[in-house]
Amino acid sequence: MSISNFRADLGDIPVEDHPRIVQQRSRDHYWYSPVLKAKLDHVTAEVVVSPRSNEEVKRVLAAAFRHGVAITPRGAGTGNYGQAMPLSGGAMLNLMNMDKVLDIKKDRVRAQAGAVLEQIDHQTRAAVDGELRFHPSTYRMASIGGFIAGGSGGVGSVRWGGLRNLGSILGVKVITCEETPRELDLVGEDVLKVAHAYGTNGIIVEAEMPLTQAHDWVDMMVGFDDFIDACRFGGAVALQDGLLVKEVAPCAAPIPQDYFNRHKPYIRDGQSVVLLMVAPVAVDAMTLFIAHHKGEMLYRSDLASEEERRRLPPIYELAWNHTTLRALKVDPTITYLQTRYPTVAHVEKIISILGDELPMHIEVGRQDGVVMYGGLPLVRYTTEERLNEIIRIHEENGCTVFNPHRYTLEEGGMKRTDQKQLDFKREADPKGMLNPGKMIAWDDPDFDFNAGRAWLFDGLNPVSAA
């Protein structure tokens, strides 16, 4: 690897090498996890390269290939599994200068990878009164490329499912890391080769996404004395086909009291809440439904004063991993898990075992057409052993855990090789220069996922040039 030869090939493509700035840009939200924090704190790249066009991306990748420099793509760096941590140093590839919305049609939008999700919606609303079907709660910062490469779903998934569902991504343009990098247009199922692949097998430079009708979503916060009633209500809302909602998230006491600073005044002691985003057309019916379920309407943005609306963050910034973020801000020892509870009874069981060690946060969603309870419970962290025990308790009780304390694709996901992504890496990144250390299948094909130990990337040091 020769960073200087690499740099020499870049021409006038902007490069940053100030160590403090490079270190800042070598970080994502890996520190959400005390486990990852301990493992990855020292990691940094040597330079940040910020191409401005597909041609410049090709030039960077050709240089990386030639000189054996590891490339870690980066959008806004809001990923929270250390996806964008440059385990082998090398160069960060900052995509945020490529942020143009390229084409808007009534039912789809095409944008460059670095376009920020909220900015995309801003333009599609103006042009065709459309918006993205769903977005992460990091809507105001995250890039579309980072979302596709590192995210899964979010606000809107209760209606539209997630990124991995057929039809959720219409197409991506990807650039390969080869002697002569190619532009590949992937559509249909082929999109899944690079979706949620952490940029290990191609750099996404453009994406085409479906749009749906935009709404002035009404934020609601509904109180319940009993958290299980809140969950039941949340599940029932998601089953109401006629009630158009974008977000349904039950949060158990004391999460709202302790961590939702600005909303605290609206919430009584001991109350659990359900966070909702409701289409204006469904507000009256929702109000009725809440009353039926004996919920207490604590807050409605459509009835709030100007001043309240200015003061309060949008409801979605209390949800998804923003719940965790708000807790972390108050109590740095907190961490979290990502789980799936098939039924409310599963939620109830886990709470009965773990109690306040695991303040419960549910995101009601659809999984292949079936309403289910996605969990992002907080964890009052003590040791890694205890964390693993909590995971085991989940698994023993029929609940799935996607471990967010792992930086590899496989360990955070389904614990097996994604053959399509591996095959595509062979084609698009034959030397393994792209985000090394994130795809176990590439580095260590024989790794046993059931042995109960975390994989450790051999290097956490520079890849050698082939």
Q: Examine residue 80 and tell whether it contacts ligand FAD (CB under 6 A).
A: yes
Site for ligand FAD in 119-148 (CB under 6 A): 136-138, 142-143, 145-147
Residue type, 402: F
- Which of 233, 289, 320, 336 is close enough to bind ligand FAD by CB under 6 A? 320
> CA angle 175-411-247, nearest 5°?
80
- Which of 23, 152, 165, 417 is close enough to bind ligand FAD by CB under 6 A? 152
Q: Examine residue 281 and tell whether it contacts its own copies (CB under 8 A).
A: yes
Q: Examine residue 76 and tell whether it contacts ligand FAD (CB under 6 A).
A: yes
Of 242 and 445, nearer to its own copies (C-beta) is 242
* Residue count, binding to its own copies (CB under 8 A): 42
112 strand-pairing partners: 206
Of 64 and 238, nearer to its own copies (C-beta) is 238
User: Of the listed pieces 36-44, 194-202, 210-218, 440-448, which binds its own copies according to CB under 8 A?
Assistant: 210-218
Q: Examine residue 201 and tell whether it contacts ligand FAD (CB under 6 A).
A: no
CB of 195 closer than 8 Å to CB of 164: yes
**Residue 143 touches which of ligand FAD, its own copies, none (Cβ within 5-8 Å per kind):** ligand FAD
Of 45 and 203, nearer to ligand FAD (C-beta) is 203
- In eight-state DSSP terms, residue 399 is -
- Which of 7, 366, 406, 425 is close enough to bind its own copies by CB under 8 A? 366
Site for its own copies in 180-199 (CB under 8 A): 187-189
d(CA 361, CA 17): 41
Looking up tokens 């197409």, which residue turns up? 171
Number of Cβ within 10 Å of residue 215's Cβ equals 17
Site for ligand FAD in 410-439 (CB under 6 A): 435
CB of 95 closer than 8 Å to CB of 73: yes
Site for its own copies in 143-162 (CB under 8 A): 159-161
d(CA 236, CA 117): 29
Q: Examine residue 243 and tell whether it contacts its own copies (CB under 8 A).
A: yes
Q: Examine residue 107 and tell whether it contacts its own copies (CB under 8 A).
A: yes
The residue ranges of DSSP E strands in 199-353, in sequence order, are 203-213, 218-224, 245-251, 272-278, 296-300, 334-336, 338-341
Under DSSP, is residue 293 helix (H, G, I), strand (E, B) or coil?
Answer: coil
User: Burial, 285: exposed, middle or buried (Cβ in 10 Å; 0-12, 13-18, 19+)?
Assistant: middle
User: Of the listed pieces 82-90, 257-265, 333-341, 368-376, which binds its own copies according to CB under 8 A?
Assistant: 368-376
d(CA 112, CA 148): 12
Q: 286: closest CA among 274, 304, 272, 268?
A: 274
d(CA 337, CA 220): 25
User: Burial, 37: exposed, middle or buried (Cβ in 10 Å; 0-12, 13-18, 19+)?
Assistant: middle
- Chain contacts with its own copies (rule: CB under 8 A): 106-108, 129, 133, 159-161, 165-168, 170, 187-189, 210-213, 215, 238-244, 279-282, 284-286, 288-289, 366, 368-371
- Chain contacts with ligand FAD (rule: CB under 6 A): 28-29, 72-80, 83-84, 95, 113, 136-138, 142-143, 145-147, 149-154, 198-199, 203-204, 320-322, 325, 435
